[in-house]
Amino acid sequence: MNRKQRRLCPLVTLFFAVTLACAGDVPITQEELVRRTQELYDAIGSGNRAPWKKYFADDCVFADEKGRVFDKPKLIADITGLPAGYSGTIKIENPQSRIIGNTAILSYDADETETIFGQNLKARYHITDTWLQRNGNWQIIASQAHRYYEDPAVGKADPKKFADYIGTYELAPGQTRSVIAEGDKLFVERNGKKEQLLPETSEIFFRKGVEGRILFRCNTNGKVDALIDRRNNEDVIWRKTK
């Protein structure tokens, strides 16, 4: 090897080192993250597992809106497609991202439309995915979803039953709330704050924007003896005092 060749060797080595480093450092954009995520949702209806295998890391953690936590094998097994008579789409809306080095966080709304034997249903979710680049490959390492709360459909009240509901209910000494009626509308009032009780059925009510239900419990004589504030399938009982 001559002197000129010896001078070139370090330069060649440096060139290949930089090339390899750049090959492992592939940037990604929000647009590309959204495209890949939409590809995942478009594959659900047909049960196409290929994008889910491709874009989720083998050591991923996936937590859905029901509180279930999946590893990758369980997640892939859950992609089974929609049954006969069902169809639907999920569209990504309002994406936001933070891309720093080899980590990218994509936060977005998922607007779901589902048709079940001709009947249309809608739901909205908010999801945050964390993408990690390893060996030049961007994959989701963690995903967390929750469903936006929406009020149930308003049903029809039976004002004839209001007389049974009206009264004062006590949670503990000094802690009371009142149920009052104004025409064909029912209200609950506590500490000067009055909220309308909207009927889901003639005996089950809810408050606008408040998750849970209000029910009125009857004793063995058929008389209302308690107001039940049901939250996430757990009951807070207010006993009727007058």
CATH, residue 173: 2.40.128.50
Mean per-residue pLDDT, 161-165: 94
Of 90-99, 147-156, 213-222, which has the strongest mean pLDDT? 90-99
Residues 18, 127 within the same domain: yes
Number of domains in the chain: 2
Q: What is the pTM of this model?
A: 0.75
**Which residue do the tokens 């005092």 mark?**
241
Can you give the residue range of the structural domain that contains 143?
A: 7-147
| Distance separating alpha carbons of residues 97 and 104, to the nearest angstrom | 7
Does the pLDDT value for residue 43 go beyond 80? yes
Q: Is 13 a residue whose pLDDT tops 90?
A: no
Please give the pLDDT value at position 161. Answer: 92
For range 109-126, the mean pLDDT: 96
Range 93-103 average pLDDT:
98
Same domain, 93 and 208: no
Mean model confidence pLDDT for the chain: 91
Quote the pLDDT of residue 25: 73
Q: Are 29 and 70 in the same domain?
A: yes
User: ∠34-68-145 over CA atoms, to 5°?
Assistant: 30
State yes or no: pLDDT of 73 exceeds 50: yes
CB atoms within 10 A of CB 127: 20
Distance CA 222, CA 164 (A): 10
Whether residue 152 is contained in a domain is answered as no
Q: How many beta carbons lie within 10 A of that of residue 92, not counting itself? A: 18
Q: Is the pLDDT of residue 140 over 60?
A: yes
Q: Read off the pLDDT band of 41 (50, 70, 90).
A: very high
The CATH number covering residue 45 comes to 3.10.450.50
